[in-house]
Structure 1
Amino acid sequence: MNQLSVKVKILLLAAVMLVITCLLAIVGIYSNHQAKQHIDDLYHHNLMTTQYLSNANIQLRNLSEDIDYVILQDYDPADRKLLLDEMNSRVVNIQENVAKIKKSDRSPRAQENLELLTEDLSNFAQQIKACEKLQNTPEDKIQLLKQLSGAHAIGARLSQLTPDNVLQGKILFQENDAAHTRTIQIFLGIILIGLIAGIGTTILIAGNIATPLEEFVRQLNAVADGNLTQEISPKLAQRRDEVGSMVKALQKMQTSLRQILGEVQSESDENVAMAEKVQELVERLDNSIQDMTCVMELMVANMEKTAAATADVQQQINILTQAITENSNALSPQLAASMETMNQAMGDIAKATIEGAVDSTAIAEKVADVAAMAEEILDKVNESRQGAENLKQQVERFQV
């Protein structure tokens, strides 16, 4: 059952119900046919026999009246012959009705009586012909009475056929009732078997579909809740129906999620470690930059002091040079040139010192900018590390 698809299972249930419906239809058709057959038998083999017996009895009653007239009245030969011919025609009508009864009545006992009745009718017809030669003498009257007494045997045979025909009608009715009862029992049996088979098939198919679906929904809810530790039953995964396909898809999704979450967790751990390392490096860089800033500020201050001292020295040299020039006109040109050269050198030193102080100030400003950028980088690194830790916490929510 696990190897059949849901569509095939539903078609199987529909086939079971269709078979039950077809069985009910077949039994109904057979029952109607049987009822029609019993009605036909009742009509052709009972009612028609009753009709033929009624006609034969009517002819026999008329024949008995004619016999009374022939025996009691003194007719001349011509009138008697007419009456005997009429009697003979009534015997012929009775024979025809008896022949029809033979065809319609199926009772063995009735067939035996009909054979004897046919012989009696044949003999009585011959006796009627023999009566045509008799006269109205007392001896002929006695002979006529003997010859026509065979009508009593015919009446006796016909009287035996009537109750047998009634019995056959009763048997046909009983067979019809038995067939009707049997048909009702077959209907009830088929309905009961159909209910049992339908309910059993429905429960089997519903259990084969509903139970695995409940397990599938439970596994799906577990995955939705972040629990990937539950294993799917191999029995469900080996099914070849639609439920098995869904279970295989869920199993594949679990495997993919486990792989993805494992990779994400590994990457998040690496990101956290890297963020911590970068944070450490940036903090060290920031400390170095802070130290460099202090050194550069100190260097700028020293350069400014050096520039001021150099300016003072140059001023003193200028004063000294002027005093020497004013006080000693006999100074050699070589000394004067040396003093001028020293004065220029001191000017260059002062200029270089000022330029160095300016450059140191620019460097200090650049270092300050770098320090500010390092602070921003540190903030970004902290945010990255916090995001990596949040991602790690989210991943750890899943139970892999």
Structure 2
Amino acid sequence: MSEELKVFLKRLWPLYLIVIVIPGLSYLAWYLWPSSTLDLVIIDKTVPNSTYREHNGLFYVLNYQKFIKSSGESYLTDQDYFGFVPNEKADFGSVRGIPASGNELTEWVSRKDLIYLTDTYGVYTENFKDIESGEKSKRIYGGLDAKDVELLTEAKQQEKTIIGEYNSMASPTPKFYRSSFENIMGLKWTGWIARYYEELDTLVNKELPSWLIDNYTEQHGPWQLKGDGMIFVNESGEIQVLNAVEDYQNKTPLIRTPKLNKPQFNLPEVVPYPDWFDIVLIERDYEVISYFDLNPTGTGLEKLRKMGLPRFFPAAVTKKNGKGNLYYFSGDFSDFDGELGSPRFKGISFLWRGFYVVADYRDKQGFFWNYYLPLISQILDREKSLKSE
């Protein structure tokens, strides 16, 4: 071997270390790490295609942390959930329902550890074909139903852990089943949902929903909004807007987690959140993990007051359910429409937390690695500890 080649290979050593050695050791560590058994019932009714975006993040965490089913199998994104199953046929898809009821459901739930409602909004005709302007998209499937309420009631009675998140109870869930969900979880939806938009000018932002513009125009006159702002939508159809700077001072809604939060979750103290969230009222025995802060001005506070809304909104809360726990996330936390890579590398989350800055609200990778993955990981670890007691 020539001296020149030896020098060249020596110079490649750092690259070899980064590309082969470190990933190899990371994979080996994941492979040797012991699996933990946890049986989850995951409900996702908003699955119009094979991206599985409304539960994609959750399944990544399950596989990254090596949680498996009691059968010994890993969790599969396309199979291990109940809800809508898309296909390419004329009927758009099928429904994978809860496989038990009555006494059979009681026995079935007894073998489960955790119920997680990732999204119940559903699927609509617009998800599968273009809708003409002014044409209303028809619901194919979605919303809480009697079977869901029966499942949640049984799970609560058996002191199982239940996690709900946006959208678990808003439209299109009928009010009767929503009330049942609220009673089970011990919270109350105000009827309002909200979202930050970086640009409200319809000439610049072509992704503003047509229903939003139409409803606003009917109520307030021509849409002349520009720049960034917060849109509030009530179940009645009422639209209200908080303008940046004039009505609130944060760039986006911030999820704040007190360092000494009572439930003792280790999470970033401040995380921007630009997606949809619902605004709920919680019972006194709930403990707040995180809360939304808009940092409203005086005029913003007055607008919130007229909507019947408080200064701060719960973002992630928990309370005891006997041996288990109840959790509610007001944001669409598990929603992730992107590529997260392979979960089979131990410690990869620490790398991505450094790479994807939590302050970059435009990239949901930052939110996933810095907030959602640590939050769900800690919840799953607590459930594992409860199961071993």
Q: TM-score, normalised by structure 2?
A: 0.16
TM-score w.r.t. structure 1 length? 0.16
* Structure with greater proportional helix content: 1
Q: Which has the higher strand share?
A: 2
User: Which structure: larger Rg?
Assistant: 1
